[in-house]
Amino acid sequence: MSSVQLIVGLGNPGAQYEQTRHNAGFWFVEEVARQYGAVFRPESKFSGEVARIQVGGRDCWLLKPSTFMNRSGQAIHAIANFYKISPQSILVVHDELDLPAGAAKLKVGGGHGGHNGLRDTIAKMGAEFARLRLGIGHPGHRDQVVDYVLKAPSKIDRQKLDDAIYEASRVVPELLQGDFAKAMQQLHTQS
């Protein structure tokens, strides 16, 4: 894994989706921007909102695609292409049904696991990017998934998610240095 130069939070644009579980990726990049004093600005050529942070002398772009979830790859491809960022230097942050609320796990590569944002990103970029999986829990049955991800989490689950996001944001310096193993160890010890 190379040093991370682009962190993408997956979510859906619009006020009606702001507090839904599917927007956990947006919540993460918003927290990182807040910690580093960065401000998101709309950027039409990247089909999203972007911010830039600097940590230990390294620049990193933050992206919230304004395409809908199933077209996330379009925005990621546009900014990666423009700044010549390889998939190995991209971290995609997304909600994860297969982890309990409040868990946060890093991994490199893999499939999409039915996640439409990942599916489109893999189609446009290949699968070699890193992922930060933010657990939202599972509704219990496949038929309930769409409704579940597009609803707000309970107060308790939202607190767990916010805590996980905060803990995960603390490994950003390691990710920007390319020390994925250290970031993983710190995060997985806390989860």
* Residue 175, domain member (yes or no): yes
* Residue 58, domain member (yes or no): yes
Answer for the pair 48, 79: CB distance below 8 angstroms, yes or no: yes
On the question of pLDDT at 79 being above 80, the answer is yes
Q: In what order do the strands lie in the sheet with 48-55?
A: 41-43, 48-55, 58-65, 6-9, 90-96, 130-135, 104-108
* Residue 65, domain member (yes or no): yes
Catalytic residues: 22
Count, residues in the chain: 191
CA 146 to chain centre: 19
The pLDDT of residue 189 is: 75
Looking at 64-68, 107-111, 124-128, 186-190, which range is the least confident one?
186-190
- Residue percentage of the chain with pLDDT more than 90: 92
* Residue 1, domain member (yes or no): no
Number of alpha carbons in the 13 Å side-chain half-sphere of residue 88: 5
The count of domains in the chain is: 1
CATH of the domain at 166: 3.40.50.1470
* Residue 97, domain member (yes or no): yes
- Give the model's confidence band at 33: pLDDT under 50 very low, under 70 low, under 90 confident, else very high: very high
**Element of type H or E holding 60:** strand 58-65
Which of 178, 187, 183, 181 has its CA nearest to residue 86?
178
Mean pLDDT estimate for the chain: 95
- Give the model's confidence band at 134: pLDDT under 50 very low, under 70 low, under 90 confident, else very high: very high
* Residue 158, domain member (yes or no): yes
* Residue 82, domain member (yes or no): yes
On the question of pLDDT at 191 being above 70, the answer is no
* Residue 105, domain member (yes or no): yes
The pLDDT of residue 1 is: 67
Answer for the pair 14, 69: CB distance below 8 angstroms, yes or no: no
The pLDDT of residue 142 is: 86
Q: What amino acid is encoded at 64 in this protein? A: K
**What mean pLDDT comes out for the span 147-170?**
96
Segment 89-128, tens digit of pLDDT = 999 999 999 999 999 999 999 999 999 999 999 999 999 9
The whole-angstrom separation of Cα 183 and Cα 187 is: 6
What is the domain extent for residue 27? 6-190
On the question of pLDDT at 45 being above 90, the answer is yes
